[in-house]
Structure 1
Amino acid sequence: DFEQADKIRAELQDLGVDLLDKEKLWKCPSRGLQGIITGFRANELSDVEVSTLVLQREKARMANDYELSDMIRDELKNHGVTIDDKRK
């Protein structure tokens, strides 16, 4: 239901929350908060979703955004995906 989704997006924007659909992230700059959008199938990530999160995490690490990098790592871990940064 796109109409309902648009209403929810507008309400979130009114509260200062930005939704970044392509990146599957939300941010609330005024409070310094951000998070990952997972959807209703929270325990099931597709291969594409895992790859996207891994790439986003690597970009965050390269930008020295370790808070976001750690958050993505933890989200992947919650879905059974383990990342070993020490292993090359």
Structure 2
Amino acid sequence: MELKQVEKISKALSDINRLKILQYMQKNQGKVECTQACNLLHLAQPSISHHIKKLVEADLIRQHKVGRNYNYSLNHEVWDNYKRSLEKL
């Protein structure tokens, strides 16, 4: 993984709410729905969307449209590569 991508992911992880989303996903088979994230963080839906957007832009999570809603899944490949890259620093 290139250092630029490590930087982008690190910036996405620099917020406690995004870390909580990822932590929840790790415990929930790598998945989360927007409503679950709202309940978890006690934030309004627009705030959740902002945090999820940052994680999607960093390629840490993928979004899947189901009807009118979105479900999100952890991108295990990127997450594992990121952790390995940090170990090599």
| Common fold: TM-score over 0.5 | no
Higher strand share: 2
Greater Rg over alpha carbons, structure? 1
Higher helix share: 2
Q: Which has the higher contact order (CA 8 A, sep 6+)?
A: 2
